[in-house]
Structure 1
Amino acid sequence: MSGSNVNLPPGFRFYPTEEELVVHFLHRKATLLPCHPDVIPDLDLYAYDPWQLDGKALAEGKQWYFYSRRTQNRITENGYWKAIGFEEPVLTNTNIRVGMKKYLGFYVGEAPAGMKTSWIMEEYRLLSSDSCSSSMRRSSKTKTHPKIDHSKWVICKVYERSSDEDGDGAELSCLDEVFLSLDDLDEISLPN
């Protein structure tokens, strides 16, 4: 695992479920409870373009994880993150809603005329303290922390979606997509 300064045992892999991201990591971060191992770093996402995350965020394969402060300003030096689709609930295996997930796509250039890239972010947030499930309230010890603002922190998972996920079989990087978008696609032949 690159990008982390933690001493983890050999063979450690970080493949959390959405429930684990929200309940074990994000909820503990928001309620100031310790999380062991403490592997996910805090990062001001909007200071970096997605291709600059390597070495700054927790990397597992071609996915990067980090905590960030929730903000409406999602502008980086070379582009911006824009919400795509609707927020989806994050459910436990017993169908209790514990958080929300939002998908964002990265666009190069200035809003709103930027060029879409293949970079995707899944941003996970906790429910407001009024609507938290009773199981989350019990673990947060609300008697000692009566007014915790769960909305300050999010946990982000960033990755570059391959073109295979779109079903066309060709793999293009972010820069390939920018280059191809400058030309008429009918005049370009891609290798098979």
Structure 2
Amino acid sequence: MGDFSKLPPGFHFYPTDEELIVHFLQRKASLLPFHPDLIPDLHHYPYNPWELHGKAMEEGNKWYFYSRRMSSNRSTETGYWKSMGAEEPVFTDNNIIGMKKYYVFCLGNANSSNEDVKTNWIMQEFRLSDHHQTVNNASSSKRRSSSHSKSKSKQDHSKLVLCRVYEHCDDDDNDNGMELSCMDEVFLSLDDLDEISYPN
């Protein structure tokens, strides 16, 4: 689990998609250090989503962890993560820095002919764009070759992904899980300020 011991009081972890890729996934894939190291590496999706408490980085109703990108079979003991469509690009300064894909957790066996039993658990899986993976692979290779001490278990960081898991509820206000104030709701309800008539 993440180390919160050095964080200031009142700290909240609500990163944007861009921040997750630039400040966390890209640094992890480039073997750069973290201070403090918040997001743990759970490898190949070993836990059911309701078992992530105490294992993944937790903030509010969301859990964050690193894993490995797999072509299929994101399975646990009781179910599997089913893809919910195509990947979406994540931008920074009009450049694609990564991709995001949605999954829903289903109970049962992915290879079974039975109908899927979908749950309310959703996962967003982030990966680096192909360009960033190429750059990171080159820099990581140079860093490993110049190091005198080699790790016994090497990991393929080109397949590294960052996952955000949450349980979707019908009364969720928005994707970030943040509540809107009364004034926020008033301003968001105004479609066009030009149409407001003011007294003379």
TM-score category of the 2 structures, normalised to the smaller one: 0.7 to 0.9
Query: Per-residue displacement from partner, 1:31-51 (whole Å, max 9, x unpaired)?
Result: 101122210011135211000
Choose 1 or 2 for highest CA Rg: 2
Deviation (angstroms), 1:55: 0.4
Gaps of 5+ in 2: 145-154, 174-200
Q: In the superposition, relative to structure 1, how do residues 5 and 164 fare at CA in structure 2: closer, same or farther (>3 Å)?
A: same
In structure 2, do the counterparts of structure 1 residues 53 and 142 end up closer, same or farther at CA, with 3 Å as the change threshold? closer
Any idea what SS the aligned residue of 2:86 has?
strand
Matching residue of 1:85: 85
* Cα distance in 2, alignment partners of residues 114 and 80 from structure 1: 10
Cα distance 1:143–1:117, how it changes in 2: closer, same or farther (>3 A)?
closer
Q: Distance in 1 between matches of 2:141 and 2:124?
A: 32
**Counterpart residue number, 1:75:** 75
Compute the TM-score of the two structures, normalised by the length of structure 1: 0.73
Q: Structure 1: which 4+ aligned runs deviate by more than 4 Å?
A: 140-143
User: Mean alpha-carbon deviation: is it higher for 21-30 or for 112-121?
Assistant: 112-121
* TM-score, normalised relative to structure 2: 0.70
Is 1:5 paired with 2:7? Answer: no
Overall identity of the aligned pairs, in %:
56
Q: Distance in 1 between matches of 2:156 and 2:75?
A: 24
Seen in structure 2, the aligned counterparts of structure 1 residues 57 and 142 have a Cα distance that, compared at 3 Å, is: closer
Corresponding pairs, count? 158
1:153 to 115, 135, 160: 160
Q: Write the distance in 2 (CA, Å) between the matches of 1:165 and 1:6.
A: 27
Unpaired stretches in structure 1, ≥5 consecutive residues: 167-192
User: Which letter maps to 1:99?
Assistant: G
Structure 1 counterpart SS, 2:87: strand
Distance 2:102 2:158 in 1: 17
Q: Which amino acid aligns with 2:34?
A: C
